[in-house]
Amino acid sequence: MPDEVISAAAARLLLGQAPPGADRRPQASAGAPRKPPVQRELALQIASADYLAALDWWPEGSAPLALHIPNERRSRLEAVRMQRCGVKAGAPDWILALPLGRTLWIELKVDAYPSPEQKRFAATLAALGHEWRLCRSIEEMAAAMREQGLTWAETPRALAIRRAYS
């Protein structure tokens, strides 16, 4: 991504403005009961892990190292323990280590906007030259990975997951 785009993204985040696409919220289907936002976000996080595992990366051996950061809401005691272990407030849900020393950090959101801590974390990543994306679906996550030059073939399982969570 060109430097001026990274700088613009960092500036938007530093000024407290929502990143591109952050103002889009999924539309509820009429008459269908909705799960609470925390459950829907957890479902998206699990689906993203399943999607990454189901992809057939190309060329062989080119799969990024993907790591989920366990930064979900928890009890006060567990939050203190996690902070003591080094978990940072605002850390994105996924880190993908890419070829040539690059990283892609992905924050998954369903109905919410990034918190002030998440905006600061994203601005810091942008200032350090890392890529950060807000994704509200598997489709958006796949698009962010394609932007970074990752290539894969979608297995039938991966396709089913993407369609269900996009």
pLDDT tens digits for range 38-93: 788 889 999 999 999 999 998 887 889 999 988 876 788 888 888 898 888 899 99
In the chain the domains, ranked by start, together with CATH numbers, are: 3-16+37-164 (3.40.1350.10)
Q: Residue 85 has which token pair?
A: 């272990």
Q: Is the dihedral of CA 103, 107, 113, 119 positive or negative?
A: negative
Give CA torsion, residues 136, 137, 139, 144, to 10 deg.
40
Q: Residue 106 has which token pair?
A: 């992905």
Using DSSP bridges, classify how beta strands 131-135 and 103-108 pair: parallel, antiparallel or unpaired. parallel
- The Cα–Cα gap between 65 and 52 comes to 10
pLDDT tens digits for range 109-158: 998 899 999 999 999 999 999 999 999 999 999 999 999 999 999 999 99
Partners of 57 in the β-ladder: 152
